[in-house]
Amino acid sequence: MDTAISQPSQRSDADGAAAPACAAVLVAAPASGQGKTTVAAALARLHARQGRRVRAFKCGPDFLDPHWLALATGAPVHSLDLWMTGEADCRARLRAAAAECDLLIVEGVMGLFDGTPSAADLAERFGLPVLAVIDAGAMAGTFGALAFGLQNFRPGLPWAGVLANRVASERHAGMLKDALREPSQWLGALPRDPAFSLPERHLGLVLAAELGDAMARLDATADVLAATPLGRMPVAQLPQVRFEAEASVAPVPPLLAGRTIAIARDAAFSFIYPANLDVLTALGARLSFFSPLAGDALPACDAVWLPGGYPELHAQALAGCSQMRDALARHIADGKPIWAECGGMMALFDELATHADATRPPDVHRLWGLLPGRVTMQKRLAGLGPQQLTLGSHTLRGHTFHYSSCDTPLVPAAHTGRPDTAQAVGARGGEAFYVHGPVRASYFHAWFASSPEATARLFGAMPIELDGHDAEKEDSDAR
């Protein structure tokens, strides 16, 4: 396989330790929906079941695709984003993974060159050869033009080859291969087969844990991939990438030492970055998980985290969680903080209205009533993209992605800002950040490692300060 990445020379970091190297590819595509996750997970599964150590990462902010990659590899899947997580964080995670694995797979986001930063930016920054997946179901000769454009649009982009997805027949695959200017770039084809598809819904892929046949789907695709040039290639012949040392990182202060944080985790509250749990642990917190859907009691704790997820799919069940609602009300009455993030915030409002259509009005569910107002689901995206939130002198980076809107009398304490704009305090712009007593709530999904200090504020280590003001005290005075 031709690639811009050759076998690495033995080079050492400044501390004298050899920079780790391993086989590595970045699985990308010309657009979303081409089959990146299917191919990345199947490739990981193929090598993992042969006894190799495989680590996978996801480019960009994503909670759903990593579940499939984690199922395939048996290891946590972290996000890589040159803005949200930062270059130093990306470099450290890649280097640590390369030191312990045989194959490193990064799944791209959207199209190869989409977004700022893009998957191509990540590939270029870390020398990750691009394995392009193209849905060829409705094309023939154009496949070659598209593959050539992806490879050459940005001169010098590391390149591994191209794999055709959703191919109709062997004859069709032959036409696609013949369309390539460089036949050596052909890594094979996957057939059009519903058994290989991963089911989707409004926020993206269905979680692997929700499907009883999730592993069978990966194995079926891995079996077919095993017969392709990519699948037959020994791991030693895959592109080898060397990962240099990251810059020194300041230690995380134990600002949450001695505190217990109770974290909701089930099908309704599943949008949790593994790295966020690591940050809370590094801050000194003890983590205690509970499932509202399973009827778990709220653990004894100093703070609560209600992550995002799919409360709209479980609205009726959540409406019946009266004991959880009462426990959270007592927690709030005791002045203990809650960080409610996107779906977690939705569950705290008075009501949640599901989709309406032309034949009937929306179903309205009474939820926990700990924040005043109604959340309404809609068919179009209401928020999407990178966001940042400043608390005191520290800024949290993250993103927003939701299909609902909320109507509330609460006055936002602040709004998040996009990377290229300042945060708006007390004015419209970005996502609303609410401070209601000890409850802090927003559609904003935070990447805790971007500011452990601001994260500690969310969980009560220090007051929430916005533009020099104590937002909690001002909210208390207002009420």
What was the pLDDT predicted at 427? 42
End-to-end CA distance of the chain: 67
What was the pLDDT predicted at 12? 42
372 contacts: CB under 8 Å, gap ≥ 6: 349, 350, 408, 409, 410
Question: Angle at CA 299, nearest 5°, toward 326 and 404?
Answer: 60
Domain count, the chain: 2
State the DSSP code for 294: T
- What's the CATH number where 321 sits? 3.40.50.880
Beta strand spans in 115-192 (E) = 130-135, 159-167, 186-191
Residue 11 belongs to a domain: no
Residue 347 belongs to a domain: yes
Residue 14 belongs to a domain: no
Please say which residue of 212, 242, 272 terminates a domain: 242
Residue 457 belongs to a domain: yes
Catalytic residue among 101, 301, 342, 406: 342
Q: Do 178 and 107 fall within a single domain?
A: yes
Q: 161 near 148, Cβ under 8 Å?
A: no
Q: Which tokens is 131 given? A: 């394995």
Cross-strand pairs, 7? none
335 contacts: CB under 8 Å, gap ≥ 6: 437, 438
pLDDT along the chain (479 residues), means of 10: 34 55 96 93 96 96 88 95 94 94 96 95 97 96 97 96 96 97 95 68 52 80 95 94 78 94 96 96 98 97 96 93 97 97 96 75 90 91 87 92 92 90 53 96 96 95 69 55
Q: Do 223 and 309 fall within a single domain?
A: no
Q: 269 near 307, Cβ under 8 Å?
A: yes
Question: Angle at CA 332, nearest 5°, toward 329 and 338?
Answer: 110
Q: Do 171 and 283 fall within a single domain?
A: no
Q: Do 321 and 360 fall within a single domain?
A: yes
Cross-strand pairs, 402? 383
Q: Which tokens is 233 given? A: 């290639």
pTM: 0.87
Residue 4 belongs to a domain: no
303 lies in which domain range?
A: 260-478
Q: Which tokens is 448 given? A: 């805790």
Q: Do 123 and 232 fall within a single domain?
A: yes
| Cβ neighbours around 141 below 10 Å, total | 11
What was the pLDDT predicted at 257? 97
Query: From CA 73, how far away is CA 434, in angstroms rounded?
Result: 38
321 is catalytic: no
Q: Do 238 and 265 fall within a single domain?
A: no
89 contacts: CB under 8 Å, gap ≥ 6: 449
Q: 47 near 31, Cβ under 8 Å?
A: no
Q: Do 214 and 313 fall within a single domain?
A: no
What was the pLDDT predicted at 217? 86
